[in-house]
Structure 1
Amino acid sequence: MYSYMPVSVVNLTNPLNKSLQGKYFLGETDQLHPTDSNRTWAALINPPHSGVNLYFGIYVLSNLSDDKLVSQICFCSNLPTHGKQSHEVSTANLAFHPNPLPHGQIQFGSNLDTTHLSAIPVSTRVIPSYSSVASEKDGHWIIGPGKAILFTLTSSMDHPSPAVISFGWWEEAQGRY
């Protein structure tokens, strides 16, 4: 009497969906060298006139040294100065040609001066020696134009402790959501 057909249901995660659209990006800093007197930093920055919001997907803090590192995560309502822009950034979908270019930027530096930086610390992490700490935010942290999420690294040693910070995010035009 009734013919029942199986229903196919596909569940796409939002990061996968954004990657399929060419809107998901990832990248990392050059090697950072924090010490007890040199606070290094990395930030995912949304330039002031980008016209997009950045949806923070994931971060990975990698400690390449035999010392534990301490990272503080800060939400910034203005941008750090004197940073170097990472060129180690790519779209997550390598099938696009030409590759989409991100509006967001990964910047990093050393000897962070917080004098003119309006930042709210929101989390502190300890990264054990020779390990990585990662956290998926799945877009819960949203960075508007002219804002940044900044990660600092310090070491208890007086010699440099190499580390790398990686970010993943997607972008949507402002007012889209």
Structure 2
Amino acid sequence: MNNCSFIRMFRNITVLFLLITIFGGCPNFPRISPASVEKAWTYYENSEYERARSEFSDVVASEPMNAEAYNGLGWCYGIMGELTIAIDDFDIAIEGDSLLVDPYAGLAFCYSDVPLDSEAINAASILVAKDSLYQFGHNSDITVSDVRFIKAKSLCNIGDFAGALSEVKKLDPSFDCDITTPSGRKELLNELEKLRGIV
């Protein structure tokens, strides 16, 4: 085969390829579905926190008033250790929908870790008042007992041992101590350490 024949054959193949591409149309790529809170929570429940955060962010980008998406962002940032951002997102969620309960649990955890004990106590108190049987819908291990524990720990941190004892007794009714004595306060702290591994 001489050079001219080779060049002619190459051109014919190229033209044929272009015709197939033009008239055959483009392949049908699957349509990308819009971001959804449900999908984001599924990622969260599967411990895919970065994907969940990204999905919640996409929801907020298209629905800036979506309080549940901000709630989800708060939980994602909280578990990723970005506590200040988490607190901001929980606050936005509460401003957007005063009926939401989950953000108060998230705030209690975040404020406890910052630590801002008075704020943790406040968030925990609001949650318990709103739902005394609380359980986080996206992680059933998180319950009102965890929130009460945070409240008790924070009350101890600010020196309100009577308040802390009251919360501890809701978690363990059989426990009692004399908080007016150093040994009694030590017993209370020991009980909190014990509860840390239970609740």
Bin for the TM-score computed over the shorter chain: under 0.3
TM-score, reference length from structure 2: 0.24
Q: Which has the higher contact order (CA 8 A, sep 6+)?
A: 1
Which is greater in Rg? 2
